[in-house]
């Protein structure tokens, strides 16, 4: 945009809405004013600038997501070992770096009692150089929910990071 170099984009969700944020770096011969004007022309929004240097900036756009009308029933959740086998097979076949960690999903009610839901919850992270749409089209697991996707330019290549959760029996 106006000669500024793309550096990072992130799309993060909270419920049915989210934010798409793109960051750019000022390169020699470009100006903050030109970048700001061009972003306004293209997106009809005001960009943000990192001050006082003005060497980086970007913009954020709101996004909405359609959620399933009916939630996945606990009984329909896969067993942990089966889902982990499918995720591992996918990671190996697509050369994805994948990691997951179980997290506590218990909570305390108004009376101070600890409630343990009848499912397990895991944080999930995927790192890859494959474009986001190529990775996403291979996910048909209703118990996997992505919270954010980040695309970063490193050494002339895009790197993608997916973060999310999965739920199992």
Q: Locate the domains of the chain by residue range.
A: 5-64, 74-168
pLDDT of residue 138: 82
pLDDT of residue 168: 94
Per-residue pLDDT at 72 exceeds 80: no
The better pLDDT of the pair 98, 42 is held by 98
Where are the strands (E) in the chain, listed by range? 5-14, 17-25, 48-50, 56-64, 97-103, 107-108, 114-115, 120-128, 144-154, 157-168
Dist. CA 159–CA 150, nearest whole Å = 8
Place of tokens 């992505």: 146
pLDDT tier at 67 (50, 70, 90 boundaries)?
Answer: low
Per-residue pLDDT at 71 exceeds 90: no
How do residues 14-56 score in pLDDT, each as one tens digit? Answer: 777 788 888 999 888 888 899 899 989 988 989 988 888 888 9
CATH architecture for the domain at 74-168: 2-Layer Sandwich (3.30)
- On average, the pLDDT of the chain sits at 88
**Per-residue pLDDT averaged across 112-116, rounded?**
92
The pTM score is 0.72
């Amino acid at each position: 945009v106006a000669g500024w170099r793309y550096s990072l984009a992130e799309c993060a969700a909270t419920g049915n809405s989210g934010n798409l944020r793109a960051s750019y770096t000022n390169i020699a011969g470009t100006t903050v004013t030109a970048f700001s004007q061009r972003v306004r022309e293209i997106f009809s929004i005001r960009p943000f600038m990192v001050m006082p240097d003005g060497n980086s900036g970007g913009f954020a756009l709101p996004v909405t997501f359609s959620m399933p009308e009916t939630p996945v029933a606990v009984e329909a959740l896969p067993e942990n070992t089966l889902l982990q086998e499918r995720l591992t097979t996918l990671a190996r076949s697509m050369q994805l770096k994948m990691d997951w960690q179980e997290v506590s999903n218990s909570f305390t009610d108004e009376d101070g009692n600890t409630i343990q839901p009848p499912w397990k919850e895991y944080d999930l992270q995927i790192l890859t150089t494959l474009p986001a749409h190529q990775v996403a089209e291979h996910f048909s697991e209703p118990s996997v929910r992505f919270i954010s996707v980040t695309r970063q330019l490193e050494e002339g290549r895009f790197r993608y990071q997916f973060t999310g959760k999965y739920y199992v029996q």
